[in-house]
Structure 1
Amino acid sequence: MDPSAQASRRALLRIAAVATAGGALAAVPLPAHAHPGRRFPRTLNVTAPGLYPEGVAWDPRREAFLVGSSAQGTVSVVRADGSVTPLVTPFARVSVLGIHVDARHDRILATYTDYFLRRLGMVDPTLPPVNGVGVFSLATGAPQRLVPVSAGSPVEPRVNDVTADRRGDIYVTDTEIDTVTRITRDGEVAGVITDDRFLTSGTGPNGIAHHPGGFVLVGKYDEGRLFRIDRPRSARPRVSEVRLDRPPVSVDGIAVRPDGSLVVVANDLSLPGGRTSRDSVLVYRSTDHWRSARLVREHTWPFEDPTTVAVTPHGEYAISGGLREILTGTPSATPGQFQLRRR
């Protein structure tokens, strides 16, 4: 094991100790009354030792954020005052990465994988990989089903992000085997979408979002490319590349705004060569149904390694969860904290 992996393993062991010492906490139920007028600060500095969230989503029922944990395998509620309360308790020894709130169907969708734990020697390598999408009650956080994804792949899988369409079909990216998997509302794997342009020796399909126009947008991380999947529910989906006038250095998380524009989070967290570029949050707009798009705004991000973004009534918030500490062993600039910041 190389020195960075050893440091990362020590970091995760400390995280596990913190989680164990803290004990189990009760999940937070839906409030009796919503607070639509509540104002959120531009920046939330959240104290949560050992959480290391990669994914974030907006929960319109609670008027709060939901964040995953790449170290503890949980989903937690983060409120405007920065308080953190567990909602989905650990259901396996995994990282929870992408999160999507499907309020229409009263559920939370979350990708889970033991990819990082396995690489750090914290999971028995003789056991098959644990990799899939969890479906949880939005009201209580109780698990409804766990759907394995990429089972039997010759390449070690790593699911990443997740979205859903209006009918409840689920779409999930795998950044290692370079695919998008469709899962029916009932939890059946219905198809795997592949394309030669998804293929890479690095980090592949990452952020994903369903567009109200009926198609799915997918970002390819390590080349900063964006793809549109038409007829995603059909037996033969059509994949086309969205022509970007100014491609980002990478495409991590993405989110569709109410006006149809797209927010893209870019970082160098998984790019070769370590720190090579600036972290940023960008906005793209299309006038031809996402056959092409132009950059209309770019924000250099003040917190390192933002990974994804949540669209809220208060603006778009990107999350910086300190993942570099887990991936490389490099200490976080703000130990025990993560940041949510409005664009």
Structure 2
Amino acid sequence: MLSPSSLSSTKRLLHVFFRLLLLLEGSALARSRHVITFGSPGLAPAGLAWDPTAQHFLIGSRLRPAVSSVSDAGVVETLVSDPLLPPDSSALVLAVDNPRRRLLVAFARPATLSAYDLRSPRPHRRIFSSALPDPASVPGGVAVDSTTGDAFVTCATGNLIWKVDLDGNPTVFSKSPIYSPPESPGDEDRPEAATAEGGLGGVVHGSRGFLLAVQGSTGRVFKVDTEGGAARSVMDVGGKKGLAAEAEGVAMRSDGGAVVAGGRATRWLTSQDGWSAAAVYDEAAMEEGQARAVVVREGRRVYVLVTPEEEEEGGNLGKGDDGGYKGKRNRIEEVEWGRDSEGETVWPFVMLGLGLAYFMYWRFQMGQLVSNMNKKRA
């Protein structure tokens, strides 16, 4: 039973409790995803990486051998501008080897993998530049083994993966017929179909001795053993619909899940058997533009590089004073998952339920107090 002297303090405690509850609920509802808009003359962004030490994003360029940093505020600064490469080379895909503070960049025209020292002054010093075995090929993705420093480069114009060791020596790492897209009815009469739709896109190194590589033209995901290069098909993110260009980039979350981005969708994949097979756990759609690449920041926060669709570019591939994108049409945006939102909205209601239970208990105690005081007066 509460004494009359504790009535005022109990009311104050309830007042503070409900104020805190409203603040928690308001902060959960007001939380918005992080979207960075940016533009730079002639940039034509390609590829995306996250530098956890410098705390900024890195993007390449389809029009020049250059890599830029993008801050959370959308400030763009040049990190790499390699004068030893042809001026029309494209910095298509990149990865950060954080333990060694290296930036790995795969270029096209010609096909090259270069490493740059992130500890050196800007523009960063080149460590090595290795010509890939097929100079006419186009890199589709690059991943790095943080333990050994080995880099893996997929070929977007062929069914193979190269390996480049710590000293810059390239070799063919994985070449498998499983990378060839399944034939569609009528393809037997079109020999060019076997190569027109082949090629691999994004690739990521898992922590347990395997790669996950994606194929943009089919949406298929492959698991590749880092010891011998043996590959197997894990799933088709396009499913039975046969969606095209649905898997341009792939990244790994700290919880073991993978994220595949391409087209107008980003998909969160999970596996229960060590990536022998996988399933789509959640999916997020792009409001506009195309998802070109994906990275994971701080373990679980997923960001995608979004650029205008080709028809929106008006045929201007980044040329001109504004890069053909009207400045703020390029975005690096955080993915908002429906599964995460469900969890965020549940907590305020849990707190509200606890608050109501406490309030009902308080009313019961107050009723007992008033009843006892009336008995004493009687």
| TM-score (ref. length: structure 1) | 0.74
Secondary structure of residue in 2 paired with 1:206: coil
Aligned mates of 2:32, 2:51 — CA distance in 1: 14
Residue 139 and residue 245 in structure 1: after superposition, are their counterparts in 2 closer, same or farther (change >3 A)? Answer: closer
User: Is the 1:53–1:323 contact (alpha carbons within 8 Å) kept by the matching residues of 2?
Assistant: no
Please, which of 157, 163, 171 is the counterpart of residue 182 of structure 1?
163
Structure-2 separation of matches of 1:283 and 1:258: 13
Matched, 1:204 2:189: no
Query: What is the match of residue 20 of structure 1?
Result: none
Are the counterparts in 1 of residues 305 and 333 from structure 2 also a CA contact under 8 Å? yes
Rg comparison, structure with higher value: 2
Which of 89, 98, 103 does residue 93 from structure 2 map onto?
Answer: 98
| Matching of residues 133-282 of structure 1 within 5 Å | 133-140=113-120, 141-151=124-134, 156-165=136-145, 166-199=147-180, 200-230=195-225, 232-234=226-228, 237-244=229-236, 247=239, 249=244, 250-267=246-263, 279-282=264-267
Map 1:21-36; keep pairs closer than 5 Å: none
In 2, the alpha carbon distance for the partners of 1:163 and 1:74 equals 19
Native 8 Å contact 1:217 1:226 kept in 2: yes
Quote the Cα distance in structure 2 between the aligned partners of 1:196 and 1:340: 35
Show CA shifts across 1:118-155 (max 9, x none). Answer: xxxxxxxxxxxx11111011223211111111336xxx
Name 2:79's counterpart in structure 1. 87
C-alpha contact (below 8 Å) 1:265/1:307 kept by paired residues: yes
- CA shift for structure 1 position 54: 1.3
Q: Please tell me whether residue 51 in structure 1 is matched to residue 43 in structure 2.
A: yes
Gap regions ≥5 residues in structure 1: 1-38, 115-129, 268-278
Distance 1:255 1:70, change over 3 A: same
The answer for the alignment partner of 1:286 in structure 2 is 271
Alignment of 1:314-325 (within 5 A): 315-322=301-308, 324=310
Please tell me whether the aligned partners of residues 235 and 278 of structure 2 are also in contact (alpha carbons under 8 angstroms).
Answer: yes
8 Å CA contact 2:141, 2:201 repeated in 1: yes
> By how many angstroms is 1:193 displaced?
1.2
**1:41-71 Cα shifts (integer Å, max 9, x gaps):** 6111112121111111111111111111111
TM-score by length of 2: 0.67
Q: In the aligned structure 1, how far is the partner of 2:50 from the partner of 2:288? A: 20
Q: For the structure 1 residues 183 and 41, does the alpha-carbon distance in structure 2 shift closer, same or farther, using more than 3 Å as the test?
A: same
Question: In the superposition, relative to structure 1, how do residues 327 and 142 fare at CA in structure 2: closer, same or farther (>3 Å)?
Answer: farther
Moved more, 254-263 or 71-80: 71-80
Shift of 1:315: 1.5
* 2:93 equivalent to 1:110: no
Q: Return the offset for 1:331.
A: 7.8
Preserved contact between residue 133 and residue 171 of structure 2 (Cα < 8 Å):
no
Between the two proteins, what is the percent identity of the paired residues? 24
More helix by share: 2
8 Å CA contact 1:244, 1:294 repeated in 2: no
In 2, the alpha carbon distance for the partners of 1:239 and 1:172 equals 15
Which residue of 2 is the match for residue 120 of structure 1? none
AA aligned to 1:190 is: T
Code of the aligned partner of 1:288: D
- Decide whether aligned partners of structure 1 residues 168 and 61 sit closer, same or farther in structure 2, where only a CA change above 3 A counts: same
Give 1:335's match in structure 2, choosing from 321, 326, 337: 326
Against the structure 1 CA distance between its residues 73 and 321, is the aligned structure 2 distance closer, same or farther, given a 3 Å change threshold?
A: farther
Contact 1:54–1:97 under 8 Å retained in 2: yes
Unaligned runs of 5+ in 2: 1-30, 181-194, 319-323, 336-378
For the Cα contact (< 8 Å) 1:310–1:316, is it kept in 2? Answer: yes
Q: 1:177 deviation in Å?
A: 2.1
| Separation (CA, whole Å) in 1 of partners of 2:314 and 2:156 | 18
Mapped contact 1:303–1:339 kept (Cα < 8 A): no
Q: Distance in 2 between matches of 1:327 and 1:198?
A: 31
Structure 2 contact 220–237 (Cα < 8 Å) conserved: no
Q: Which whole-Å CA distance do the structure 2 matches of 1:213 and 1:86 have between them?
A: 34
**1:311 alignment partner in structure 2:** 296
**Cα displacement string for residues 136-179 of structure 1 (whole angstroms, at most 9, x for unaligned residues):** 11223211111111336xxx411121001121111001111221
Residue 227 of structure 1 aligns to a residue whose secondary structure is strand
Q: What SS does structure 1 have at the residue aligned with 2:310? A: helix
